[in-house]
Structure 1
Amino acid sequence: MRRRDGYGSLLAAIFVFAFPLLTASGPAHALDLLSEGTPAKVTVRQIDQFQIGRSETKFGSLTYLGGLELISPDRNVGGLSGLISLEDGRQILAVTDNGIWFSADIEQAPDGKPLELSNARYADMLDQKGRALRKGNGSDTEALAIDGNTVLVSAERVNTVYRFPWPLKTGKERLVGELALSPEIHTLRGTKGLESIAVAPPGSPIAGTLVAIAERGKTGHDNLPGFLIGKGKVERFAVVRSDRYDATDAAFLPDGTLLLLERRFNLRDLVGMRIRRFAADSLRPGAELKGAVLMEADYGNQIDNMEGLDIHRDAQGRTILTLISDNNRSILQRTLLLRFMLDDK
Structure 2
Amino acid sequence: MRKSSAIQLTIAVFLAGVAWAVDHKTPDHLGSFTWRHTAEWFGGFSAVHISDNGNHLIGMTDRATLVTAEVARRGDEIVDIHITGNWPLISSRGRSLTGGTGDSEGIAVAPDGGLYVSFENTHRVAYYPAPGTKAQVLPRPKAFDGFELNGSLEALAIDQRGHLFTMPEENRTATGDIPVYRWDGQAWSTPFVLPQRGDFLPVAADFGPDGRLYVLERDVGWIGFRSRLRRWELDGDTPSAEEVLFQTGTGAHDNLEGLSVWRDDEGRLRATMVSDDNFLALQRTELVEYALPD
TM-score by length of 2: 0.89
Partner of 1:333: 283
SS at match of 2:53: helix
- Give the partner amino acid of 2:194: V
Which has more radius of gyration? 1
How large is the RMSD of aligned CA atoms in angstroms? 2.8
Name stretches of at least 5 consecutive residues in structure 1 with no aligned partner. 18-49, 202-206
Give the whole-Å Cα distance in 1 for the aligned partners of 2:2 and 2:52: 29
- Give the partner amino acid of 1:341: A
**Alpha-carbon distance change, 230 to 15 in structure 1, aligned in 2, over 3 angstroms:** closer
**Please, which of 249, 255, 259 is the counterpart of residue 309 of structure 1?**
259
- Retained in 1: the 8 A contact 2:45–2:60? yes
**Alpha-carbon distance change, 289 to 279 in structure 1, aligned in 2, over 3 angstroms:** closer
SS at match of 2:41: helix
Partner of 1:131: 95
Give the whole-Å Cα distance in 2 for the aligned partners of 1:196 and 1:340: 19
- Between Structure 1 and Structure 2, how many residues are aligned? 291
Alignment of 1:43-54 (within 5 A): 51=18
Partner of 1:46: none
Q: CA deviation at 1:252?
A: 0.9
- Retained in 1: the 8 A contact 2:273–2:288? yes
Partner of 1:21: none
**Alpha-carbon distance change, 289 to 59 in structure 1, aligned in 2, over 3 angstroms:** closer
Partner of 2:33: 68
Partner of 1:251: 206
Q: Does 1:102 align with 2:67?
A: yes
Aligned-pair identity in percent equals: 24
Name stretches of at least 5 consecutive residues in structure 2 with no aligned partner. none
Q: Does 1:266 align with 2:224?
A: no
**Please, which of 139, 143, 153 is the counterpart of residue 194 of structure 1?**
153
- Give the partner amino acid of 2:117: V
Q: CA deviation at 1:163?
A: 0.6
Give the whole-Å Cα distance in 1 for the aligned partners of 2:270 and 2:127: 26
Partner of 1:324: 274
SS at match of 1:291: strand
Q: CA deviation at 1:6?
A: 3.3
Deviations 1:124-148 (A, max 9, x none): 11223432223x6421100000112
Q: CA deviation at 1:250?
A: 0.3
Return the structure number with greater relative CO, CA threshold 8 A, min gap 6.
2
Give the whole-Å Cα distance in 2 for the aligned partners of 1:156 and 1:263: 17
Q: CA deviation at 1:95?
A: 1.0
